[in-house]
A and B are shown apart, each in its own frame.
Chain A
Amino acid sequence: MIAAMALPPPDPEFVLRGTAAPVHTLHFSCRGQEPEFPILFSGSANGLVQIWNLKTHRVDKTMDGHGGKSVYWVETIHGRDGLLSQGRDQKICLWDLAEGRNVVTDSISVDSVGFCRCSLLKVAQDRWLIAMPANDPDEVQVLELPSKTSVCTLKPEAGAKLGMPMCLKLWQPGFGACPFLMAGYEDGSVILWNLSMGKMLSRLACHQEPVMSLDFDSEKAKGVSGSSEKVLSVWSLDEQQNLKVHKTHELINSGISDVTIRQDRKILATAGWDYHIRIFGWKKVKPLAVLDYHTATVHCVAFSDHSRPSERLLAAGSNDQRISIWSLYNQT
Chain B
Amino acid sequence: MAVFDTPQEAFGVLRPVCVQLTKVQTVENVERLQAQLQKVSAAALQQLQEYVLFPLRFTLKTPGPKRERLVQSVVECIRSILSETCVKKPDLLHELFSELCTCLSSPSGLKRPPAQSEEIKLAVIQALQALMHSAYGDILLSLYQPSTLPHLGFAVSLLLALAEQEKAKEIRTSALKCLQALLLQCDCQEYHRLLDKEEAQRCGDLFASFLPGISITLSRVITGDIKQSHMIAVSAIKLFYQTVGFIMADEQLRKIPEKKEKPGVEQSRIADLMVHRGPDWVQSTADKLSLLIHKIVESSSVHQHWKVRLELVELAHHLMLKSSQSLVASVGQLLKALVGLVNDDSPKVQSRSSEVLRSIAERKVITENRALADVLSENLHSLATALPRLMTSQDDQGKLSTLNILLGSLKLLGSKMNIVLNSTAHLHRLSKALMQVLELDVTDVKIVEERRQGELPASLQHGLQKGQAQKKYFRFFTDERIFPLLQQVCRVLGYYGNLYLLVDHFTGLYSESVAFRKQAALVLNELITGAAGLGVDVLHEREAAPSVDDLKGTITSILEEYTGQANWHLVTSMEEQEEPSDELAMPPSRLRALPESAHSSTLILSSAATSEPNPTIRSMNGNIWQICIQLEGVGCFTHALGKEFRVLLMSALYPVLEKAGDSTLLISQTATGTMVDICQACGYGSVQQLISENTDYLVNGISLSLRRVAHQPHASRVLETMLRHSDASLLPLVEDVIQDVLFTLDQSYDSRAASFLRVLHSLMAALARWFVLAKQSEQQQGAQTSPGATELPGAIPTAAATTTGQDVERFFLDYIKQKQIAEGDLPDTEEEEVFLPPAEEPQGNDTSAEGEAPLPAHAQVAKDVMERCIHLLSDKSLRVRLKVLDVLELGVTVLHPHNNHLLPMAHRAWPALVTRLINDDPLAVLRAFKVLCTLAEKCGDFLRQRFSKDVLPKLAGSLSSQAPVSARAGPVYSHTLAFKMQLAVLQGLGPLCEKLDMGEGDLNRVAGACLVYLSARQPVKLQEAARSVFLHLRRVDPDAPWLLLNGVCCPRQYPPPHASLRPVELSGMGRPRGELTDNVLHLLGELEQRERAMLWPRAQGAPEPRGPPPP
Q: Does A156 contact B (CB under 8 A)?
A: no
Is the pair A12, B696 in contact by a Cβ cutoff of 8 Å? no
Q: Which residues of B contact A11 (CB under 8 A)?
A: 704, 707-708
Docked complex Cα distance between A57 and B697 (Å): 8
Docked complex Cα distance between A11 and B707 (Å): 8
Q: Does B952 contact A (CB under 8 A)?
A: no
Is the pair B700, A14 in contact by a Cβ cutoff of 8 Å? yes
Q: Does B377 contact A (CB under 8 A)?
A: no
Name the CB-closest residue of B to A58.
B696
Contact of B703 among A15, A18, A56, A57 (CB under 8 A): A15
Q: Does A286 contact B (CB under 8 A)?
A: no
Is the pair B647, A55 in contact by a Cβ cutoff of 8 Å? yes
Name the CB-closest residue of B to A292.
B707
Is the pair B650, A56 in contact by a Cβ cutoff of 8 Å? yes
Q: Restricting to B678-731, which residues have a CB under 8 Å from any CB of A?
A: 696-697, 699-700, 703-704, 707-708
Is the pair A17, B699 in contact by a Cβ cutoff of 8 Å? yes
Q: Does B736 contact A (CB under 8 A)?
A: yes
Q: Which residues of A contact B743 (CB under 8 A)?
A: 295
Name the CB-closest residue of B to A35.
B549
Docked complex Cα distance between A58 and B700 (Å): 12
What is the distance, in angstroms, from A145's C-beta to the closest C-beta of chain B? 36
Q: Which residues of B contact A293 (CB under 8 A)?
A: 707
Docked complex Cα distance between A58 and B699 (Å): 13
Name the CB-closest residue of A to B695.
A17
Q: Which residues of A contact B696 (CB under 8 A)?
A: 17-18, 57-58
What's the interface size class on A, roughly? 10 to 19
Q: Which residues of A contact B704 (CB under 8 A)?
A: 11-12, 14-15
Is the pair B699, A57 in contact by a Cβ cutoff of 8 Å? no
Q: Which residues of A contact B703 (CB under 8 A)?
A: 15
What is the distance, in angstroms, from A17's C-beta to the closest C-beta of chain B? 6
0 or 1 for each of A6-39: is its CB under 8 Å from B? (1 = yes): 0000011011011000000000000000000000
Q: Which residues of A contact B699 (CB under 8 A)?
A: 17
Q: Which residues of B contact A57 (CB under 8 A)?
A: 650, 696-697, 700
Name the CB-closest residue of A to B697.
A57
Q: Which residues of B contact A58 (CB under 8 A)?
A: 696
0 or 1 for each of B168-208: is its CB under 8 Å from A? (1 = yes): 00000000000000000000000000000000000000000
Q: Which residues of B contact A295 (CB under 8 A)?
A: 743
What is the distance, in angstroms, from A153's C-beta to the closest C-beta of chain B? 45
Name the CB-closest residue of B to A8.
B708
Q: Which residues of B contact A12 (CB under 8 A)?
A: 704
Q: Kindly name the residue among B650, B696, B707 whose own CB sees the greatest number of chain A CB atoms within 10 A.
A: B696
Docked complex Cα distance between A295 and B742 (Å): 13
Q: Which residues of A contact B697 (CB under 8 A)?
A: 57
What is the distance, in angstroms, from B163's C-beta to the closest C-beta of chain A? 73
What is the distance, in angstroms, from A331's C-beta to the closest C-beta of chain B? 19
What is the distance, in angstroms, from A232's C-beta to the closest C-beta of chain B? 26
Docked complex Cα distance between A18 and B733 (Å): 9
Docked complex Cα distance between A55 and B644 (Å): 13
What is the distance, in angstroms, from B691's C-beta to the closest C-beta of chain A? 15
What is the distance, in angstroms, from A150's C-beta to the closest C-beta of chain B? 44
Contact of A56 among B647, B707, B736 (CB under 8 A): B647
The interface residues of chain B, by DSSP majority, are classed as helix
Name the CB-closest residue of A to B549.
A35
Q: Which residues of B contact A55 (CB under 8 A)?
A: 647
Q: Restricting to B612-668, which residues have a CB under 8 Å from any CB of A?
A: 647, 650
What is the distance, in angstroms, from B703's C-beta to the closest C-beta of chain A? 6
Q: Which residues of A contact B736 (CB under 8 A)?
A: 17
Name the CB-closest residue of A to B705.
A11
Docked complex Cα distance between A56 and B650 (Å): 7
Docked complex Cα distance between A15 and B707 (Å): 13
Docked complex Cα distance between A61 and B170 (Å): 86
Is the pair A15, B700 in contact by a Cβ cutoff of 8 Å? yes
Q: Which residues of B contact A56 (CB under 8 A)?
A: 647, 650
What is the distance, in angstroms, from B555's C-beta to the closest C-beta of chain A? 16
What is the distance, in angstroms, from B815's C-beta to the closest C-beta of chain A? 59
Docked complex Cα distance between A226 and B703 (Å): 30
Docked complex Cα distance between A278 and B261 (Å): 99
Docked complex Cα distance between A295 and B739 (Å): 11
What is the distance, in angstroms, from B592's C-beta to the closest C-beta of chain A? 46
Docked complex Cα distance between A57 and B647 (Å): 10
Name the CB-closest residue of B to A295.
B743
Name the CB-closest residue of B to A293.
B707
What is the distance, in angstroms, from A8's C-beta to the closest C-beta of chain B? 10
**Contact A17 to B700, CB < 8 A, known contacts A11-B707, A11-B708:** yes
Name the CB-closest residue of A to B708.
A11
Name the CB-closest residue of B to A14.
B700
What is the distance, in angstroms, from A289's C-beta to the closest C-beta of chain B? 15
Q: Kindly name the residue among B650, B699, B700, B708 whose own CB sees the greatest number of chain A CB atoms within 10 A.
A: B700
Docked complex Cα distance between A328 and B976 (Å): 60
Docked complex Cα distance between A12 and B703 (Å): 10
Docked complex Cα distance between A105 and B700 (Å): 36
What is the distance, in angstroms, from A327's C-beta to the closest C-beta of chain B? 13
Q: Which residues of B contact A17 (CB under 8 A)?
A: 696, 699-700, 736
Docked complex Cα distance between A17 and B702 (Å): 13
What is the distance, in angstroms, from B192's C-beta to the closest C-beta of chain A? 67
Docked complex Cα distance between A295 and B703 (Å): 12
What is the distance, in angstroms, from B734's C-beta to the closest C-beta of chain A? 10
Docked complex Cα distance between A293 and B705 (Å): 12
Name the CB-closest residue of A to B701.
A14
Docked complex Cα distance between A153 and B233 (Å): 108
Docked complex Cα distance between A55 and B646 (Å): 11
What is the distance, in angstroms, from A20's C-beta to the closest C-beta of chain B? 10
Q: Which residues of B contact A14 (CB under 8 A)?
A: 700, 704
Docked complex Cα distance between A57 and B708 (Å): 22
Docked complex Cα distance between A15 and B706 (Å): 13
0 or 1 for each of A114-148: is its CB under 8 Å from B? (1 = yes): 00000000000000000000000000000000000
Name the CB-closest residue of A to B739.
A295
Docked complex Cα distance between A56 and B708 (Å): 24
Name the CB-closest residue of B to A56.
B647
Q: Which residues of A contact B647 (CB under 8 A)?
A: 55-56
What is the distance, in angstroms, from B746's C-beta to the closest C-beta of chain A? 12
Q: Which residues of A contact B708 (CB under 8 A)?
A: 11
Q: Restricting to A205-250, which residues have a CB under 8 Å from any CB of B?
A: none
Q: Which residues of A contact B707 (CB under 8 A)?
A: 11, 293
Docked complex Cα distance between A12 and B697 (Å): 13
Q: Which residues of A contact B700 (CB under 8 A)?
A: 14-15, 17, 57
0 or 1 for each of A266-302: is its CB under 8 Å from B? (1 = yes): 0000000000000000000000000001010000000
Docked complex Cα distance between A56 and B707 (Å): 23
Docked complex Cα distance between A293 and B936 (Å): 42
What is the distance, in angstroms, from B944's C-beta to the closest C-beta of chain A? 42
What is the distance, in angstroms, from B623's C-beta to the closest C-beta of chain A? 26
What is the distance, in angstroms, from B690's C-beta to the closest C-beta of chain A? 15
Docked complex Cα distance between A12 and B701 (Å): 10
What is the distance, in angstroms, from A36's C-beta to the closest C-beta of chain B? 13
What is the distance, in angstroms, from A61's C-beta to the closest C-beta of chain B? 16
Docked complex Cα distance between A207 and B603 (Å): 65
Docked complex Cα distance between A14 and B703 (Å): 9
Name the CB-closest residue of A to B703.
A15
Docked complex Cα distance between A293 and B650 (Å): 20
What is the distance, in angstroms, from A52's C-beta to the closest C-beta of chain B? 11
What is the distance, in angstroms, from A247's C-beta to the closest C-beta of chain B? 33
Docked complex Cα distance between A206 and B697 (Å): 44
10 closest Cβ pairs, A-B complex: A15-B700, A11-B704, A14-B700, A11-B707, A17-B696, A15-B703, A57-B650, A56-B647, A17-B699, A12-B704
A-contacting residues of B (Cβ < 8 Å)?
A: 647, 650, 696-697, 699-700, 703-704, 707-708, 736, 743
Q: What would be 10 A-B contacts, judged by CB atoms less than 8 Å apart?
A: A15-B700, A15-B703, A15-B704, A18-B696, A55-B647, A56-B647, A56-B650, A57-B650, A57-B700, A58-B696
Additional pairs, 19, CB under 8 Å, beyond known A11-B707, A11-B708: A12-B704, A14-B700, A14-B704, A15-B700, A15-B704, A17-B696, A17-B699, A17-B700, A17-B736, A18-B696, A55-B647, A56-B647, A57-B650, A57-B696, A57-B697, A57-B700, A58-B696, A293-B707, A295-B743
